[in-house]
Amino acid sequence: MRRRILVVLALAVLAAPLVCSVSPEYQAVVHKFSLIEHERLKPGARVTLTCSELNAYARQEIAETAPGALWNARLSLGSGTATATALIDFGKLRTAEGKPPGWLMSHLLEGQRPVAITARIRSSGGTATVEVESVEISGVIIEGRVLDFLIQNYLLPAYPDAKVGQPFGLRHRIERLEVQPSAVGVVIGQ
């Protein structure tokens, strides 16, 4: 019995740094997401997701899903816009997704590249539309027709569930998203 208690205590001590390494902002946003997902909020309720909470969530999720492929991910909000920045190794990202590039593409895509993506977000009536306004990779800005071409011919074939430039339904009774410079307000409908 004493040995079992010592083993449990040893495991608790070893696990403590893992549990404590999750930031309070991450814990707060996960709790808010849970309330929304399990539809525990009354109609008309408004949940505020701060920029620091969303950044904490992104950091944690990236660490779990694409280790070694993305660094310094950051989200900045504006009035109706969001800009995501990161250093990305596209070759490692594709490999983490289970789709490793071929030899030539792996050599073209390898290495950290600074990336910034700016999108406009509109929503009402339980739907939202995300319009990608610009993408910047290693200082080269891509927008307009070239950006549309890349979205249609590369992004959507690689990620067929992505909804870019077209309305999509918001789930869990979300009426609309109010994107402001300091936070995103999630308004719950009927």
User: Per-residue pLDDT tens for 161-172?
Assistant: 999 999 999 999
Domain range holding 172? 22-141+167-188
Question: Is the residue at 101 inside a domain?
Answer: yes
38 CB-contact burial (10 Å; exposed 0-12 / middle 13-18 / buried 19+): exposed
Question: Is the residue at 48 inside a domain?
Answer: yes
Question: Is the residue at 8 inside a domain?
Answer: no
Q: Within the chain, which residues score under 70 in pLDDT?
A: 1-21
Q: What is the pTM of this model?
A: 0.81
User: What is the number of structural domains in the chain?
Assistant: 1
Question: Is the residue at 29 inside a domain?
Answer: yes
**What is the rounded (10 degree) CA torsion for 103, 108, 112, 118?**
-120
Question: Is the residue at 153 inside a domain?
Answer: no
Tokens coding 137: 């990779």
Question: Is the residue at 53 inside a domain?
Answer: yes
Percentage of the chain beyond pLDDT 90 is 64
User: Per-residue pLDDT tens for 97-110?
Assistant: 888 877 777 777 77
